[in-house]
Structure 1
Amino acid sequence: MLALHRDGTPAALALLLAPLLHALVASARAAHGGSFSGHVLVQMHEGPEDEAHRVAAEHGFDSARKVSFGENLYHFYPRDGAQARRRRSAQRRKRLEKDHRVKNVFRQEGFRRTKRGYRDINEIDANMNDPLFTKQWYLINTGQADGTPGLDLNVAEAWELGFTGKGVTIAIMDDGGHSCSSYDFSSNDPYPYPRYTDDWFNSHGTRCAGEVSAAANNNICGVGVAYKSKVAGIRMLDQPFMTDIIEASSISHMPQVIDIYSASWGPTDDGKTVDGPRELTLQAMADGVNKGRGGKGSIFVWASGDGGSYDDCNCDGYASSMWTISINSAINDGRTALYDESCSSTLASTFSNGRKRNPEAGVATTDLYGNCTLRHSGTSAAAPEAAGVFALALEANPALTWRDMQHLAVLTSKRNQLHDEVHQWRRNGVGLEFNHLFGYGVLDAGGMVKMAKEWKTVPERFHCVAGTVQETHHIESGDRLRLAIRTDACEGKENFVRYLEHVQAVITVNASRRGDLTINMTSPMGTKSILLSRRPRDDDAKVGFDKWPFMTTHTWGEDPRGSWLLEVGFQGEASQKGVLKEWTLMLHGTQSAPYIDQVVRDYQSKLAMSKKEELEDELDEAVERSLKTLLSKN
């Protein structure tokens, strides 16, 4: 296991999270054994950077690049075609290991990462001198393409308040773009231009970038959500395989310059994959939220997935990470898109298409070859819209931390007219309304910037391992397994958690058919989270889930003290059997009330609801003061 320093990460946090990170890595590797990519991570002994370049050249590598994390670590890139010659690559690696200038060599396995929302479709013609702003219903919905008027991101209010994303930099981690803060980790050069192909496959990053930062009033295509923000293109998807070091390098690129990282990709959305970030990428994500933006934390925005009802985004270790903001999508009349995945880790939603045949119901944005398109779709289109909204909030208040942004998303997102045909809207134990597919609702740019302007940083975050069940329990069709963990949430200890943010159920379970497994968890305040729904295409009978961290945001703000109930069973026609070997409950949140210093402007708002006890106390005190005043006058 590679040992890397995490300067600035609290020691207690590192000790607490290390077993979970390693378990997630092991589970991902077990689920999908990769192929050797030809890329290697090399740890050099102390010496000048030129020495690493000489070593790389001497051993037949194309180039070496010092990575931004760890000590004396370099990414050695293979020469063109080298990854295909496995035997020669292995020999080269063995010679490298014997070089006295080299301390350690770590091979990089190749694995699959897919763009979300790409469809092989015929593009419509767009007049380059004809702005598409009136087609951008997700910005201002007046009923275009048979949409529901008013169902949009409410960017008009944010723009009217003077917020356009100025001073904020957003990285589009994809297949290419243009910017001075950009980099090409696929080819190891600072020119992340997309590779032009006849099938438009590499238009993905260009389209996502246009949604965020397309300039206003230039008679070209449409307008970006944060049209005065800066965009950095990070090219890392356009290659046969992904590697851990390329992902980690992309996520950790210029973290003191880049504020927001937008990712519209992830493990294959085939309904049978369980996968997530490897060790270096987990390290980079942890470093990002702890050290990025001068310690305020990098903001990672992730598309929740395009597997539809056949998949569950809690099986995606990127979208279900507590360090990312997972974004789903709705279409222009408030219904779900056909590709939308549901899960308890989704925080909020924006807009895309995926149901209507009307060509104007898609997302209008920039495209390759200087063109425009109306056909961008998938949660790929949803994540950049969210990144744009967050950029507006950061302009309103640059002091916002990565956790502040998540709190703002919870408090200002709205149900509006979103309609889920399967899952009902419910209220959690503190009255916050959520949906298993849309999270806490659609982002409201106007509401978010207004609250961001007056926002006070939330209190320190703590982590509590609330309990573990390690006995073996058998599961059979028709008989749900029910297990309980009663916890005081580490009360009386320095890591006591009173107000919840994220909750993780780290579970090891095997089944005769993994896809028929369903897992629910109910909090002490009565909120039920669907941690895993049925995935009918998943036939796995060997790997199962090995210490997999299922995450929920649905208990946000609740008091975690009491009994947590886990229910595991099977759904499907065939009879199945399984074994649950372990369940660990992990609580993440604050000791003090997170909104105690926030100003309530609307007493019907989620913020007011979350501060109900405080407001009632204030009202009681005010009434008591008034009575005393009246009595003194008499």
Structure 2
Amino acid sequence: MSGTIINDPLFSQQWYLLNTGQNGGTPGVDLNVLPVWNDYTGKGITVAVVDQGVEYAHPDLAANVNTFISFSGSINGNDGQPVTSDDSHGVAVAGEIAAVAGNGIGGVGVAFDATLASVYIDLSETASDADLNAGFTAVLTQAVNSYDVINNSWGYGGVFHNFNDIANQGVSEALTNAVTYGRDGLGVVVVFAAGNDREKDYDANADNLTNSPYTIAVAAIDNAGKVSSYSTPGASILVAAPSSSDYYTLETTVIPAANEDEEDQIVQKLVPHTYGEVVTSDRVGENGYNTAPSPQGDYAYDFGGTSAAAPQVAGVVALMLEANPELGYRDVQDILALTARNTDASGSWAINGATTWNGGGMHTSRDVGYGLVDATAAVRLAETWDAQSTTANLMTYTGEAHAQSTLGDGTGSASSSITLPAGISVERAEVVLDLNDADASDLVIVLTSPSGTRSTLFDAAGLNVAYPANFAMTSTQYLGESSQGVWTITVLDTKADGSSASFGGWKLNLYGSAATDDTRYVYTNEYSSAFAQDSSRALVVDTSGTDTLNMSPVTAGAAIDLQPSTVSLVAGAPLVIAPFTVIENVYTGDGNDLIVDNSVGNKISAGRGNDILMTTFGNDILDGGSGFDVVGFDRNYDAYLVEASDGVISVSSMQGTKSITNIEALSFADRVVSSEELLTSKTAFSTASSLATGIS
């Protein structure tokens, strides 16, 4: 694995990295990260841990911590290390991201060669929002020149932290600057834990940090793939990652009576039990969660919450950026969503109105966003991603509508619609309501897209505070949908509490990429199950633009025929290229693939595995990737002009020119030629006159 032998003794307990069913978990419910380590380990990527500090000398972290770009964002610290004996959280978070691998101690980080920067902020109960604002603003300012990824396993408590409040506008501006100017304009990737307030009936959309289009909100799932008992739901959640969870038992205690004249007292209470805890680094020695002396006490065995889920995503992002440093922050968000997995078939899922994910719409949920992050699939798609999406090319459509409605207490509802034109492939929708309600706990707010996707923007029965003015809520659930058509907001008053709501109108912002006829169709390992539920997903119909089948996230071998009116096989399910449909480009994944080109100029990248690429007409660019790969030609060797230069083999005939890289052999009708033989020769292997006889 990239030259590193995983000999770390706690690795077998890190089920979130490799779930074999240990401790009763479901095998395979993990980050699927091990295959990535063959090529990428986070090297060259800097992840800032904004938390309670990281111990610079921790034996499993020291090699990866850059102290020169670490600092304190709070007045009670002077560097990025813990200040008080209670400051343990940051060390645990850092270990999940980049604990050193192969050193024979402790565990392994998701991106174990990434660089860590530690920024201390005061997360104690005495810290004020003003302190947090100042600290996080300092982080975002530093990020422009220093950090690639920022992990935030903390929050403001989920009670309407509003960027439009004067006190919070500095954070909003700094966040905008970080994604606009950071990473030389590609944007810093900002990750936030979604929160642990599910049992309070809170909503992740009630905080402008966890619902910002500039951040990635991460939910938690347990070791069986179900949403964790505490994980705060919300339409703003993008993805989920593994963490602990709780279940409850009703336990009865009998307290004997003090004398014979009294009855025994029976007391019943719900007792929580935690399972699936995350194993990671801890404060050295007797400090921290584990109070045993070193070396046993240097590791925590009971970390959890969405605090433990977020850093895993930050680590996966580091792997993605090493694989493709040119990704914009929006690309990272899209790739994570496109490759996330549904690990709970019984969960509350909806299918959105996209048309290009596994042949149709994407699964999405208020509980876990698009699902469990899949590191291997995300990295494979990152390697082959053919876009760069930043603030510079972000498209925005805005619409406003006025209304004058008073909602009946406990029974009322009001709806209003905005019509927007075509032109945007939606990534996020943002809504600002003119809404007055003294008790937001009685509100349910739903946004419906032109395709019929209903996203519950707000449902927080436990949030007994007034609904704030000018508060923005977002939904990630429209990824890949068109902006065109009627968007409808519905506000419901669901609880008779003496508090009536008045609705005066709303503003809708749609963010995304410019719509184009150049379509990218993404296929993942879930294609076979998606096809089983809806066989219409098998048909690809596209007669315009330059179009791409990106199957790089698919693990199994594929058989792809790009010619119209043909049937291919992807992830074990059929895929039909419709008549008159022209697909120009294809990327395949880790399996042993068979790919047949068509008559237009194709770009074919066969990924990993031992692949066969069959050629016909057209000028093609062929990349075999790793493995033993063969390009096939249907005529004798002498029918072609074969040349080699600078690692590229060119094969020309009247059928066209094929530019070939990373191929081990060329198979002609009469012979097989080693690419090594061609690349080490200085001469052409046939004469130009043979081009005239290349086709009869």
- Structures share a fold, TM > 0.5? yes
Other-structure match for 1:361: 276
2:21 alignment counterpart: 143
Shift of 1:593: 3.7
State the match for 2:184 in structure 1: 294
Q: What do you get for the CA RMSD once the two structures are aligned?
A: 3.1
Report what 2:155 is aligned to. 266
- Pairing of 1:368-407 with structure 2 (within 5 A): 368-370=283-285, 371-407=298-334
Matched-pair contact (CA < 8 Å) for 2:193–2:309: yes
Equivalent position amino acid for 1:432 in 2: M
Partner AA of 1:248 in structure 2: T
Residues in 2 aligned to 1:210 and 1:225: alpha-carbon distance in whole angstroms: 9
Alignment of 1:163 onto 2:40: yes
CA change 1:576–1:520 in 2 (3 A) is same
1:510 matched residue in structure 2? 436
In structure 1, the residue matched to 2:401 is 469
Higher deviation after alignment, 250-259 or 321-330: 250-259
Does residue 485 of structure 1 match 2:418?
A: yes
Deviations 1:120-148 (A, max 9, x none): xxxxxxxxx98211111110000011100
**C-alpha offsets along residues 533-562 of structure 1, whole Å, 9 cap, x if unaligned?**
1323x333xx42311111011111111211
Q: Normalising by structure 2, what TM-score? A: 0.65
Equivalent residue for 2:107? 222
Contact 2:397 2:420 in 1 (8 A): no
CA positional deviation for 1:582: 2.8
Is 1:534 paired with 2:460?
yes
Residue in 2 that maps onto 1:69: none
The answer to whether structure 1 residue 241 and structure 2 residue 164 are counterparts is no
Give 1:174's aligned amino acid: D
Instruction: Identify the residue that residue 559 of structure 1 maps to in structure 2.
Output: 482
255-264 or 206-215, larger mean C-alpha shift = 255-264
SS of the residue 1:558 aligns to: coil
C-alpha distance in structure 2 between counterparts of 1:580 and 1:411, whole Å: 35
Q: Which amino acid aligns with 1:517?
A: L
Give the corresponding residue for 2:349: 424
Q: Secondary structure at the match of 2:407?
A: strand
User: 5 Å matches for 1:21-170?
Assistant: 131-160=9-38, 162-170=39-47
Give the conservation status (yes or no) of the 8 Å contact 1:454–1:598.
no
Q: Contact conserved, 1:418 with 1:441, CA < 8 A, in 2?
A: no
Q: Distance in 2 between matches of 1:172 and 1:623?
A: 47
Identity %: 30
Amino acid of the structure 2 residue aligned with 1:510: N
What does the per-residue CA deviation read over 1:76-124, in whole Å, with 9 as the maximum and x for residues that have no partner?
Answer: xxxxxxxxxxxxxxxxxxxxxxxxxxxxxxxxxxxxxxxxxxxxxxxxx
Kept in 2: contact 1:186–1:237 (CA 8 A)? yes
SS of aligned partner of 1:340: coil
- Pick the structure with more strand per residue: 2
Secondary structure in structure 2 of the residue aligned to 1:471: strand
Q: Which runs of 5+ in 2 are unaligned?
A: 1-6, 57-65, 248-271, 286-297, 356-360, 531-536, 550-561, 565-576, 584-597, 600-616, 618-694
Opposite residue 415 of structure 2, the aligned amino acid is R
- Structure 1 residue 429, shift from structure 2 partner: 4.1
Q: Is the 8 A contact 1:334 1:419 kept in 2?
A: no
Residue deviations 1:558-589, cap 9 Å, x none? 11211111111122354541101230011111
Aligned to 1:287, the other structure's residue is in SS state helix
Q: For 1:186 and 1:622, locate their aligned partners in 2 and report how far apart those are by CA, in whole Å.
A: 59
TM (norm. structure 1) is 0.71
Q: Give the direction of change, closer, same or farther, for the CA distance of 1:213–1:610 in structure 2 (3 Å limit).
A: farther
Displacement of 1:454 in angstroms is 1.4
Alpha-carbon shift at residue 604 of structure 1 (Å):
3.2
> In structure 2, the residue corresponding to 1:266 is in which secondary structure?
coil
* SS at structure 1 position matched to 2:284: helix
Kept in 2: contact 1:595–1:611 (CA 8 A): no
In the other structure, the counterpart of 2:374 is 444
Distance 1:265 1:603, change over 3 A: closer
Q: Deviations over 1:288-325 (max 9, x none)?
A: 11100111110000111111141000001100000001
* Stretch of structure 1 that moved more, 559-568 or 319-328: 559-568
Q: Give the whole-Å Cα distance in 1 for the aligned partners of 2:541 and 2:98.
A: 38
Match of 1:322 among 200, 205, 213: 213
- The structure, 1 or 2, with the larger RCO (C-alpha pairs under 8 Å, 6+ apart) is 1
Deviation at 1:621, TM superposition (A): 3.3
Equivalent pair of 2:244/2:274 in contact (CA under 8 Å): no
Aligned-partner residue type, residue 420 of structure 2 = T
- 1:165 match: secondary structure: coil
Q: What is the identity, as a one-letter code, of the residue corresponding to 1:362?
A: E
Contact 2:339–2:524 (8 Å) recurs in 1: no
Instruction: Give a deviation string over 1:503-547, Cα, whole Å, max 9, x none.
Output: 1111121224211111001000110000001323x333xx42311
SS in 2 for 1:355: strand
1:255 aligned partner? 144
Does the CA contact (< 8 Å) of 2:8 and 2:102 recur in 1?
A: no
Q: What is the alpha-carbon distance in structure 2 between the residues aligned to residue 335 and residue 385 of structure 1?
A: 17
Between the aligned partners of 2:155 and 2:91, the Cα distance in structure 1 is 18
Q: Which residue of 1 aligns with 2:72?
A: 184
SS in 1 for 2:81: coil
Aligned-partner Cα distance in 2 for 1:395–1:609: 33
Contact 1:331 1:354 in 2 (8 A): yes
Secondary structure of 1:265's aligned partner: coil
* SS of equivalent to 2:431: strand
The aligned counterpart of 1:332 is 223
1:544-555 mapped onto 2 (5 Å cutoff): 544-555=467-478
**Residue 523 (1) aligns with residue 421 (2):** no
Take 1:247 and 1:583, find their aligned partners in 2: how far apart are those partners?
A: 30
Contact 2:443 2:458 in 1 (8 A): yes
Over 3 Å counting, the alpha-carbon distance change for 1:287 and 1:267 in structure 2 is same
* Matched residues, number: 483
In structure 2, what residue type is equivalent to 1:337?
Answer: S
Aligned mates of 1:323, 1:364 — CA distance in 2: 30
Would you say the 8 A contact 2:412–2:494 is kept in 1? no
Question: Whose radius of gyration is greater, 1 or 2?
Answer: 2
**AA in 2 matched with 1:469:** A
How big is the shift at 1:186? 1.3
- Whether the 8 Å contact between 1:164 and 1:226 is mirrored in structure 2 is yes
Letter in 2 for 1:261: I
Question: Which residue is 1:275 aligned to?
Answer: 161
Relative distance call for 1:594 and 1:556 in structure 2 (3 A) is farther
Q: Report 1:302-313 matches (<5 A).
A: 302-309=192-199, 310-313=201-204
